[in-house]
Chain A
Amino acid sequence: MDSESHKSTADKLVYMANQIATFFHTQPKDEAVAGVADHINHFWEPRMRAQFFTILEQPDNGLDPLVVEAAKHIRKPGPVPV
């Protein structure tokens, strides 16, 4: 791509997840993990979450530790109905 703002979808997902974490970092501690997980469960389409789990498995994935912690509460997407 011909300019620096055009990131891959994976880069964008990491960026978005970290943005969400940034907000919840400022919220009371006990709400932060659930806050991140709920937000992603509520608003991320299954293929976004599937990509997210792929990213999660990679070393140096760039994800905020809060996102990593929240990951166990993020729903694994099921198969797409035909």
Chain B
Amino acid sequence: MSLIQEIDYGTPASTSEKMITLTIDGNEVTVPEGTSIMRASMEAGIKVPKLCASDMVDAFGSCRLCLVEIEGRNGTPASCTTPAVEGLVVRTQTQRLKDIRKGVMELYISDHPLDCLTCAANGDCELQDMAGAVGLRDVRYGYEGDNHVFAKAGVVANDRWLPKDESNPYFTYDPSKCIVCSLCVRACEEVQGTFALTIEGRGFNSRVASGARESFIESECVSCGACVQACPTATLTEKSVIQIGQPEHSKVTTCAYCGVGCSFKAEMRGEELVRMVPWKDGKANRGHSCVKGRFAYGYSTHKDRILNPMIREKISDPWREVTWDEAYKHVANEFRRIQYQYGRNSIGGITSSRCTNEETFLVQKLVRAGFGNNNVDTCARVCHSPTGYGLKQTFGTSAGTQDFDSVEHTDVVIIIGANPTDGHPVFASRLKKRLRKGAKLIIVDPRRIDLVRSPHVEASYHLPLRPGTNVAVVTSMAHVIVTEGLFDEKFIRERCDWAEFQDWAAFVSSPEHSPEAIEQISGVSPQLLREAARLFATGGNGSIYYGLGVTEHSQGSTTVMAIANLAMATGNIGRKGVGVNPLRGQNNVQGSCDMGSFPHELPGYRHISDESTRDIFDKLWGIKLQDEPGLRIPNMLDAAVDGTFKGIYIQGEDILQSDPDTKHVAAGLAAMECVVVHDLFLNETANYAHVFLPGSTFLEKDGTFTNAERRINRVRKVMSPLNGYADWEVTQNLAKAMGLNWNYQHPSEIMDEVALTTPSFAGVSFDLLDREGSVQWPCNEKAPLGTPIMHIESFARGRGKFIRTEYVATDERTGPRFPLLLTTGRILSQYNVGAQTRRTDNVIWHEEDRLEIHPHDAEQRGIRDGDWVKVTSRSGETTLRALITDRVSTGVVYTTFHHPTTQANVITTDFSDWATNCPEYKVTAVQVGASNGPSDWQVKYDEQARQSRRIAPVLDAAE
């Protein structure tokens, strides 16, 4: 094992297809036109000294180290800013260049501390490397002159000196070590797109400043870490490196937060994680990261982690630690007893979107082959199940159509019901990069998300619709496109069913779908809607990105179909820069769906009623699969309340916190006789559990995650599981205890079984992934290296299917008692139920969930910013503090759900998507009023949770 060193070519790659040849130090080098001389040199293995260049950002030409001499040209141009041209003859090392470089380095070092031995960057410092490279032996100027290094000049204070800024929890800024190369400023602008940093002052007074001379934590900085990664000195340094020291080996792995699925190098010292650094060859993130993946991994060693299995008779008892064998035996006995007593279908399981494909596959296999039923579901039920249904109906595949690189080729982007800068930050950065180069943006969202207007990015149109009216608005956009003749007839005739199109076109053309007619429902200006639709239809490559603001509605599946209709009608499918792109919530939501986690589908989205598919598994597993669909999560809970569902194995999900209508979830769990929770922490669901099996983190296991672009990425084990076993091993041991003859030695064998049984994964193996880095399914004989873009020549289902999408108002309506609409979302620093991020320093950005409310609505209720308010719905009530902002319209309130004490889901209702039962999180009619503090339910809940988490002390053998 060694530290993975990535080559820095100094400037970004040129995309030109025209090749040119030049000579560098006597070597002929052929590169694409537009390549810099610096990059061309590096391609030839010649490292020109540099300090201000990186292939992550555009060339800048400020450090004056990378100078070269070119035959026939005067002077010594900077190789980073000088393009390679056919026939050039370049020399990178001459006496003149050597003298200049040494002189430049002398100047740098004369204003830099000489504390290399005790510096955190010791061993990983480009300044140190360059001093070595140019042969610096002496600094003739001394260190006594004007400088930024010392706090005092003699006995008086040195005004140029600035103290270290340690305000960010994850990295420090030490101005005394800064060489003002501006790499951090450019990384913040070009890679992250936040523009939080700048160089203030001129000449010797120049320095890096965050925001308007604020500390990093007070500035606009989003803590993505791009500046830290870019810094060539110890000026910006991870605190973990300062504390631990330099890493000695690393492995490439995949982030376990959102559905972007960024690749990281986990840099290690022994089994201690020193830092996570985004991997440039990661095809989802291309070397970028956000605060969660880059820094928020501290939960993996948090003291709250439960490391020993525990059981208890009743949920009111304290937990009792037991051996693994005892735990497995107990679960096996209980599950078999329940099945004997209540029937084969009285138990089930939930797979985790946070676990690996291999682990998910095993849990559904345990349910189908071990429990002998199909009662398996996954958290995608509550997020993207409508995506699966809607895209399967229209296109024939339950997945997004593009890769993330596609965004670089898009011209007009529609974002519906997603907030990428918070929910999918690395994708947002890639999108912003394209927007700054001229692509247009249309946002359909009740709330003014950051992308509506942020530095150097402004949406052409923001359609602030009323929550719950997506179908009306998207169908109305189609109305404009069809009635104004802006549809792509050629594409539709070639690729879709023309008769179905005509039926649909007639449907959307009716006057009741006109923007003017739907304004009543949606509150969107007809003029804006018309202009936005025209822009999308005529602006070039049109792409649609959407999130849970689309799916988590009574009409979630209908909106997904409306989006697919819009893409087909405008011919925006089947090439780069276009497509329908669901932004998946969790790291492995796509994968957990692919792996057969739904009760009606076997791996690869094949319906359980299909005999030939069942036959494959029947033969391989030596069983007889039931041909009927199993229960979905909400159905399991209903059946539990009805007394026909009595036991459940839940891997890595916290349904009590994340699922709607908490009281109903609690009632369902309380009615079961054996609830098994397999997780890192005693989560909220564990309050109702009889058995707790400790889980492992993504750092502790091998496997794969599949991200929102269908990309199968490797997860690599970098440390031993603290609890002793990776999650797949726990599931396997449980299966063995139940009498199943499983014997997987490594997750790669599980993937081999997936490949063997699932045509879209037929070509996937760990060997292939190790060789290629990653592949996007389908990956089989027809596409041996995977499929970046789907439906290129024809749709997976043959012809694209247009489906009528009539708007139907949700039954969750406002009225005199509940006049406001509550909608929910996510914040950058926190993730989902917060089980991980709340156990990291990320809490400094978001200590609690707040209720965003418009000043007008707040005024009417006498609510001031920061006041405790009571939010009441038809389901229940909770309290939290108000945040007064005009980001939400009047009539709409908004909150996040990262903290269990908020109990946001006590107020969400049991309304759900008509097709998939995906809950309607995004619309709840509520009333908001002043409050003195926590509701009775919150107080009772806290007490129950506290009682439930008691662990009985282990008795000493001597006693």
| Chain A residues within CB distance 8 Å of chain B | 1-7, 9, 12, 16, 19-20, 22-23, 26-28, 39, 41-48, 77, 80-82
Contacts and interface: CB of A to CB of B under 8 A. Distances in A.
Contacts of B630: 45
B640 to A, nearest CB: 10
B62 interface: no
Contacts of B624: 81
A9 B668 CA distance: 12
Nearest to B910: A5
Given A5-B875, A20-B914, A82 B628 contact: no
15 contacts: A3-B663, A5-B909, A9-B639, A12-B638, A16-B914, A16-B917, A19-B554, A22-B808, A23-B558, A26-B806, A28-B503, A45-B630, A48-B631, A77-B628, A80-B344
B876 A3 contact: yes
A12 B345 contact: no
Chain B interface main SS type: loop
B638 A44 contact: no
A26 B804 contact: yes
A39 B875 CA distance: 28
Given A39-B915, A44-B629, A81-B624, 7 more contacts: A1-B663, A4-B874, A5-B875, A16-B914, A27-B803, A43-B916, A45-B375
Interface in B630-663: 630-632, 635, 638-639, 641-642, 644, 661, 663
Given A23-B915, A43-B600, A7 B910 contact: yes
A48 B915 contact: no
Contacts of A5: 661, 873-875, 909-910
Contacts of A47: 345, 631, 639, 644
A35 B912 CA distance: 19
Contacts of A3: 663, 874-876
A42 B607 contact: yes
Given A19-B914, A26-B806, A81-B344, A48 B635 contact: yes
A45 B628 contact: yes
Contacts of A28: 503, 804
A80 B343 contact: yes
Contact of A45 (B503, B631, B808, B915): B631
A9 B803 CA distance: 30
Contacts of B661: 5-6
Interface in B571-601: 599-600
B609 interface: yes
A82 B339 CA distance: 9
B912 to A, nearest CB: 8
Contacts of B914: 16, 19-20, 22-23
Interface in B789-808: 803-806, 808
A74 B626 CA distance: 18
A19 B374 CA distance: 24
A57 B661 CA distance: 30
A26 B345 CA distance: 35
A9 B641 contact: yes
Interface string B691-723: 000000000000000000000000000000000
Nearest to B554: A19
Contacts of B910: 5-7, 12
Contacts of B874: 3-5
Nearest to A17: B914
B113 interface: no
Nearest to A41: B609
Contacts of A46: 345, 628
Nearest to A6: B664
Given A42-B607, A45-B635, A82-B344, A20 B915 contact: yes
Contacts of B83: none
A45 B664 CA distance: 20
Query: Which 5 pairs, one residue from A and one from B, show the smallest C-beta to C-beta distance?
Result: A26-B806, A19-B914, A9-B638, A5-B875, A45-B631
Nearest to B876: A3
A45 B804 CA distance: 27
Contacts of A77: 628
A20 to B, nearest CB: 6
A21 B318 CA distance: 48
B110 to A, nearest CB: 72
B915 A81 contact: no
B372 interface: yes
Contact of A42 (B374, B503, B600, B805): B600
Contacts of A9: 638-639, 641-642
Interface-centre pick from A4, A5, A23 (highest chain B CB count, 10 A):
A5
A27 to B, nearest CB: 6
B468 to A, nearest CB: 14
A13 B632 CA distance: 13
A80 to B, nearest CB: 5
Nearest to B630: A45
A9 B635 CA distance: 9
A31 to B, nearest CB: 10
Contacts of A43: 600, 629, 632, 915-916
Interface in B368-411: 372, 374-375
Interface string B169-189: 000000000000000000000
A45 B873 CA distance: 30
A45 B663 contact: no
A80 B240 CA distance: 57
Interface string B904-927: 000001101011110000000000
A49 to B, nearest CB: 9
A45 B599 contact: yes
A26 B661 CA distance: 30
Contacts of B806: 23, 26
A60 B644 CA distance: 26
Contacts of A26: 804-806, 808
Contacts of B631: 45, 47-48
B939 to A, nearest CB: 16
Interface in B471-523: 503
A80 B345 contact: yes
Contacts of B626: 81
A33 to B, nearest CB: 16
Interface in B539-559: 554, 558
Contacts of B599: 45
A6 B663 contact: yes
A41 B630 CA distance: 11
A15 to B, nearest CB: 8
A63 to B, nearest CB: 15
Contacts of B374: 45
Nearest to A39: B915
A46 B630 CA distance: 8
Nearest to A48: B635
Contacts of B607: 42
B909 A45 contact: no
Interface string B590-632: 0000000001100000010100000000000000101011111
B475 to A, nearest CB: 11
A22 B554 CA distance: 11
A50 to B, nearest CB: 10
A22 B915 CA distance: 11
A13 to B, nearest CB: 9
Contacts of B375: 45
A12 B599 CA distance: 19
B350 to A, nearest CB: 15
Nearest to A78: B628
A37 B529 CA distance: 37
A1 B915 CA distance: 27
Nearest to B345: A80
A67 B344 CA distance: 29
A23 B560 CA distance: 14
